[in-house]
Amino acid sequence: MRILVIGNGGREHALAWKIGQSPRVTQLWVAPGNGGTAHLLKCENVPVAAGDLAALRDFAVQNRVDLTVVGPEAPLVEGAVDLFREAGLAVFGPSRAAAQMEGSKAFSKAFMLRHAIPTAQAATFDDFDEATRYLRGFDGAPVIKASGLAAGKGVILPNTRAEAAAVLQTMLLEGQFGEAGKTVLIEEKLKGPELSVLAFCDGKTARLMPAAQDHKRLMDDDLGPNTGGMGAFAPSPLASPGLMAEIEATIVRPTLAGLAAEGMPYVGVLYAGLMLTEQGPKVLEYNCRFGDPETQVLLPLLAGDLVEVMLACVEGRLAEVELAWRDEAAVTVVMAARGYPGEPEAGVPITQIDAAEATGCLVFQAGTKWKDERLLTNGGRVLAVTGVAASLPQAVRKAYAGVDRIHFNGAQYRKDIGRKAIAG
């Protein structure tokens, strides 16, 4: 089989790494890929941007690609899957209609209310005066969310109502988030630990992956600014079999059934970002794709052939497939460039990845590129170093043993990934 992966992050390196292990795969392309995917077995980078949908489709047609896997949300929300299907191509991911679950928080909130899926109470506005009036009657400080895609920056947690009012002004009047912020949600603030539950979906059937936990803040002890994610681990010790069954029954299944009933069956990975509140698990957001860096811990735990699972999703026969997961734990530590999450420093040489791999960890590359046979930083999140072991504490040690070997100037990484999962 010939497979195309769209994207250039650590998630896509992990996808290509796992897909390439399938005996069915003879050729793999990643568009545009990164320094890691450039040197994978059976794999080549294709210099086409993830947003150039027509060029990607043409590449897939010309090269007789058997399956395309779309990594990031933006091409999905733009309708990549619809475009590929119209050309008769098999593609793993939700249609443009179903991808609205991530592309529009106003859409997904209304969907959850229609289908009685547990979530934070929220009201949606595109008028500044109405939003401000509503805010005045709000008890305490709410969460303000730009409805559209904002690269993980569109959720603001103000400390006071005055701060919240200022956020409404920047989004609705000053257009700080562009189109994405022209509609906003004013949402009840929930409390509790967060859990990422991802599921493979074929439109009717969902198969849950082990629950993961992400570390969104830049610095240890959850201090500093929000990022795309500085590390993750799985399985989460919070996710008892009982809780996973509850999440499947009250959130994942009704979501899939509701989307199918409304004529937009969901194919691909559905990612539910949950908060475990005193009233039970509630949805904070849906993503229409694999998580980054969750993928870098989930795929190393998948025992079987990822391509078989993805084909079953695309062909609507996931009910026939049982997923097998290793009885192990995985931890990934993100190494970011100096300046991240603001303006990351690019072009810095990276060394000793081989030495890290020799310790037994997996090094997934994100913001990297090759130039004159040297590997250089080329983005905010540079590497995700994953340890897989029999227990979480061992996996933490394995990941950090790898991180300790790797060198690039200005590298920043958290020292406490996984600590919240380890008692004492």
Residue 287: contacted member of ligand AMP, ligand GLY, none (CB under 5 to 8 Å, by partner type): ligand GLY
Stretch in the footprint of ligand AMP (CB under 6 A) among 12-20, 24-32, 189-197, 413-421: 189-197
Amino acid letter, residue 298: L
- Shortest reach from residue 272's CB to ligand GLY, in Å: 11
Q: How far apart are CA 18 and CA 418, in angstroms?
A: 23
The two three-digit tokens of residue 317, written as one number: 């026969």
CB atoms under 10 Å from CB of 371, counted, come to 11
**Residue 380 near ligand GLY by CB under 6 A:** no
Q: How far apart are CA 84 and CA 86, in angstroms?
A: 5
Residue 120: contacted member of ligand GLY, ligand AMP, none (CB under 5 to 8 Å, by partner type): ligand AMP
- Shortest reach from residue 295's CB to ligand GLY, in Å: 8
Q: How far apart are CA 396 and CA 415, in angstroms?
A: 10
Question: Which residues within the stretch 59-118 sit at the binding site for ligand AMP (CB under 6 A)?
Answer: none
Q: Which residues, at least 6 apart from 175, have a Cβ–Cβ distance to it below 8 Å?
A: 181, 182
- Shortest reach from residue 216's CB to ligand GLY, in Å: 7
At what angle are helices 161-168 and 128-136 packed, to 10 degrees? 170
Q: How far apart are CA 255 and CA 286, in angstroms?
A: 10
Stretch in the footprint of ligand GLY (CB under 6 A) among 50-58, 74-82, 286-294, 347-355: 286-294
Considering only 141, 155, 323, 346, the residue that binds ligand AMP (CB under 6 A) is 155
Question: Which residues within the stretch 254-273 sit at the binding site for ligand AMP (CB under 6 A)?
Answer: 273
CB atoms under 10 Å from CB of 98, counted, come to 26
- Please say which residue, 197 or 321, places its beta carbon nearer to ligand AMP: 197
- Shortest reach from residue 139's CB to ligand GLY, in Å: 29
- Please say which residue, 7 or 118, places its beta carbon nearer to ligand GLY: 7
- Shortest reach from residue 104's CB to ligand AMP, in Å: 12
- Closest by CA to 112, choosing from 223, 319, 255, is 255
Considering only 57, 292, 297, 414, the residue that binds ligand GLY (CB under 6 A) is 292
DSSP-assigned states of every residue in 66-130:
SEEEE-SHHHHHHTHHHHHHHTT--EES--HHHHHHHH-HHHHHHHHHHTT--B--EEEES-HHH
Considering only 6, 14, 48, 120, the residue that binds ligand AMP (CB under 6 A) is 120
Q: Are 252 and 204 in contact (CB under 8 A)?
A: no
Q: Which single residue is written with the structure tokens 């679950």?
A: 101
- Closest by CA to 227, choosing from 155, 145, 119, 149, is 155
Q: Are 82 and 246 in contact (CB under 8 A)?
A: no
**Residue 222 near ligand AMP by CB under 6 A:** no
Q: Are 151 and 227 in contact (CB under 8 A)?
A: no
- Shortest reach from residue 271's CB to ligand GLY, in Å: 7
Number of residues that bind ligand GLY (CB under 6 A): 6
**Residue 214 near ligand GLY by CB under 6 A:** yes
Say if strands 67-70 and 91-92 run parallel, antiparallel, or are unpaired.
Answer: parallel
The two three-digit tokens of residue 373, written as one number: 């046979």
Q: How far apart are CA 369 and CA 353, in angstroms?
A: 14
**Residue 224 near ligand AMP by CB under 6 A:** no
Residue 229: contacted member of ligand GLY, ligand AMP, none (CB under 5 to 8 Å, by partner type): ligand GLY
**Residue 194 near ligand AMP by CB under 6 A:** yes
**Residue 287 near ligand GLY by CB under 6 A:** yes
**Residue 135 near ligand AMP by CB under 6 A:** no
- Please say which residue, 187 or 292, places its beta carbon nearer to ligand GLY: 292
Residue 36: contacted member of ligand AMP, ligand GLY, none (CB under 5 to 8 Å, by partner type): none
Considering only 190, 288, 310, 318, the residue that binds ligand AMP (CB under 6 A) is 190
DSSP annotation of 412 = B
Residues that bind ligand GLY (CB under 6 A): 214, 229, 287, 291-292, 294
The residues binding ligand AMP (CB under 6 A) are: 120, 143, 155, 157, 187-190, 194, 216, 273, 284-285
